[in-house]
């Protein structure tokens, strides 16, 4: 029997007529269907316990109830950490229309855009971490229960990737610090805030975060044995060009700790001046001039002082894109069903903050 769903163009759910009325057909994985068949078989049998004197005979209704509960538990245990969808894009709509009922939420977009795979791509890793950090600061309670579970599963994968690859642990440390601070506030004021799930679940999550922080604190960087050309073997002008391509002051300081030569290059006043000019407007750093002992402007201190007052520009290897023609949010390499004559002219890169703003109503 066809049934019109929320979108009238779709065939809707499939329904079958039973003795108890019409019931919706739900499709499960083959493995789960085999398990359900076994559970159905159990529901038609009589279950006996242990000794003959204390036998308990369960009627068919009790068996069916127990079987349904086992089905539900089996389905939960066999559900992947990420909600996977065939399409890797999502239509962003903020009001109901004839074609679409309701509106798109932040949690729905977070589940649909497959961030679990995105963190495996080095071009998208920083982007996803920054997005999770922004959600931790202000949008955690706006996520649905499924999206919150998905959030922590992705966070677990990020921590494990950092522990294995030692890739940019500073970013994930900042994320965990912001997340733990937010959870402490929410758990203390649980009566005044919206937390999906039992409070004990959130306490366990907070304990897990503290464990992750301790693991990252004890993280030892593996020394790679390489008999070939190393970074220190490059000429000075090439090392200098590498430093000038960094957009984060902390990355420059970290690289400067590798060798004395890199430290000398990382302290160059002109390098920090270019960095200030890239991130901040002239009016901004003119208000916070910090002279050194020799009377020159200390551009390194200027950078970190300005960072406290003004946001810095963000650079990512790859970002989500938004199609202004279709109102669809997607990863560029996966594409989307665009109807524009020239789709490339309609694309707009979406920063992590812009992603959050898209779902504010």
Give the model's pLDDT for residue 136.
92
The tens digit of pLDDT for each residue in 72-98 reads 554 454 444 444 455 678 888 766 665
Tokens of 178: 């912001």
Does 119 or 294 have the greater pLDDT score?
119
Give the model's pLDDT for residue 55.
40
**Domain range summary for the chain, segments of one domain joined by +:** 103-218, 248-309, 320-358
Give the model's pLDDT for residue 227.
67
For residues 127, 129, 131, 132, the Cα torsion angle rounded to the nearest 10 degrees is 160
Per 3-state DSSP, the chain is made up of helix, strand and coil in percentages (nearest 5) of: 50, 5, 40
Give the model's pLDDT for residue 189.
67
Give the model's pLDDT for residue 102.
53
Give the model's pLDDT for residue 176.
94
Burial-class residue 327 by CB neighbours within 10 Å (0-12, 13-18, 19+): middle
Give the model's pLDDT for residue 225.
60
Burial-class residue 198 by CB neighbours within 10 Å (0-12, 13-18, 19+): exposed
Give the model's pLDDT for residue 202.
85
Instruction: Read off the pTM.
Output: 0.67
The tens digit of pLDDT for each residue in 197-253 reads 777 888 888 999 999 999 998 887 766 666 677 788 888 999 999 999 888 888 899
What kind and span of H or E run contains 21? strand 21-24
Other CB atoms within 10 A of residue 350 CB: 19
Q: Which of 63-67, 106-110, 163-167 has the lowest mean pLDDT?
A: 63-67
The tens digit of pLDDT for each residue in 113-139 reads 888 888 888 888 999 999 999 999 988
The tens digit of pLDDT for each residue in 2-49 reads 544 444 444 556 677 777 777 776 544 444 445 444 444 433 333 333
Q: What is the mean pLDDT of residues 156-161?
A: 92
Give the model's pLDDT for residue 151.
92
Q: Of 76-80, 85-89, 169-173, 297-301, where does the model show the most confidence? A: 169-173
Could you tell me whether strands 320-323 and 15-18 are parallel, antiparallel, or unpaired per DSSP bridges?
unpaired
Does 105 or 264 have the greater pLDDT score?
264
């Amino acid at each position: 029997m066809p049934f019109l769903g929320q979108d009238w163009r779709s065939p809707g759910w499939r329904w079958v007529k039973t003795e108890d009325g019409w019931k919706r057909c739900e499709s499960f994985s083959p493995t789960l269907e085999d398990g359900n068949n076994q559970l159905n078989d159990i529901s038609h049998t009589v279950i006996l316990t242990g000794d003959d004197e204390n036998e308990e005979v369960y009627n068919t209704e009790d068996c069916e109830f127990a079987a349904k509960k086992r089905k539900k538990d089996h389905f939960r245990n066999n559900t992947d950490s990420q909600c996977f969808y065939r399409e890797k894009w999502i239509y962003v709509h903020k009001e109901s229309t004839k074609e679409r009922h309701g509106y798109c939420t932040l949690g729905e977009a977070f589940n649909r855009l497959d961030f679990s795979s995105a963190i495996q791509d080095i071009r998208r890793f920083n982007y996803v971490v920054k997005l999770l950090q922004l959600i931790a600061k202000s949008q955690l309670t706006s996520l649905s229960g499924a999206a919150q579970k998905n959030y922590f599963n992705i966070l677990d994968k990020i921590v494990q990737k950092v522990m294995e690859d030692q890739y940019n642990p500073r970013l994930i440390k900042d994320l965990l610090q912001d997340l733990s601070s937010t959870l402490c506030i929410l758990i203390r004021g649980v009566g005044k805030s919206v937390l999906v799930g039992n409070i004990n679940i959130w306490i366990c999550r907070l304990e897990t975060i503290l464990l992750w922080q301790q693991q990252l604190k004890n993280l030892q960087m593996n020394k790679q044995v390489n008999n070939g050309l190393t970074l220190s073997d490059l000429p000075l002008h090439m090392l200098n060009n590498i430093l000038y391509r960094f957009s984060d002051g902390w990355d420059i300081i970290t690289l400067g700790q590798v060798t004395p030569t890199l430290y000398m290059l990382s302290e160059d006043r002109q390098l920090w001046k270019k960095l200030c000019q890239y991130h901040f407007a002239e009016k901004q750093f003119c208000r916070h001039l910090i002279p050194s002992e020799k009377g020159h402007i200390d551009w390194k201190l200027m950078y970190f002082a300005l960072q406290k007052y003004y946001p810095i520009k963000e650079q990512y290897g790859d970002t989500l894109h938004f199609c202004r023609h279709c109102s669809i949010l997607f990863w560029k390499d996966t594409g989307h069903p665009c109807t524009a004559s020239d789709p490339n002219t309609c694309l707009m890169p979406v920063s992590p903050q812009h992603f959050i703003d898209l779902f504010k109503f």
